[in-house]
Structure 1
Amino acid sequence: MMRGVGGPLLCIGDLLSDVGDGDGGATSSSPSPSTSASSSSNPNPSDPIRGSDLNQLFQENYNKLNEALEGTDHSWTALTLKLCSALDAADKLVQTANSNSAMLAEKVRVLHDIVRRGDSAVASVKSIYGVQGKTTSIGINERS
């Protein structure tokens, strides 16, 4: 298939296939998620995109893209790149959240094992003191 030849529909297909390539050549020329966030949801482009801003950023870019596609100008290409950047940022956010939740789950498993060993040690101590004699409410052995 010849890429980059033809009308706008082939160019959109090329853009989508380039975005789908991941680390292909097109991603180096596409704006980074932080630079595409120059809309009203993120006035300072040097600030990273927060997860709570992604929905608004996506919606703004989507609405602008629809307006451009209804018109006759060619701004849809830049708007499509911005929309793809917002989707890429959302994908990275989800990957980070999944990674963080996996690490958290592992730490919870470790803590659970520690608590279980502690409970086992307490049960062992109770059984030892239960054999040697009764304890008072303050923990002093009473011998009769």
Structure 2
Amino acid sequence: MERCERMGSHQILEFTLGEEQYCLDIEYVTEVVSRSKRDVTPIPDSPPHVEGAIDLRGETTRVIDPSTRLLPDGYEDDGISQERMIVFGDERATGARSGWAVTDVLRISTIDPDSVEAVDEEMVNGIVTREDGHVVWIDPETISAET
């Protein structure tokens, strides 16, 4: 089993989309907020993963649905709402101020590079192996990128 070769441990933010669990490097995250789909204004001609935009504390913030890229085609959400939003503070991740609509935010964890299995997939940094299962460590820059 090939492991990711990364320097030192990393802090990650763990979250869910539907019933699937993911994580991303905490360095990208500014805050986590509650959101309502009613507050999202659609953006004409935007890619399918962009829900629209909201006014978050006086700043226009693009709302991205990462499930359109991470969950398999035909995934049924069974009414599971995405009422939390991970807000990115660094535009290098998204090209503009944005946030991801997620089902829930679970915790911040520290991972050891030895617990990360490398994968050959553009959007995935690796698979984090823990005693209670696996978490997919994703790259926010590739998920949020325009198609």
TM range (shorter): under 0.3
Q: Identify which of structures 1 and 2 has the higher relative contact order when contacts are C-alpha pairs closer than 8 Å and 6+ apart.
A: 2
**TM-score normalised by the chain length of structure 1:** 0.20
TM-score normalized with structure 2 length: 0.20
Whose strand fraction is larger, Structure 1's or Structure 2's? 2
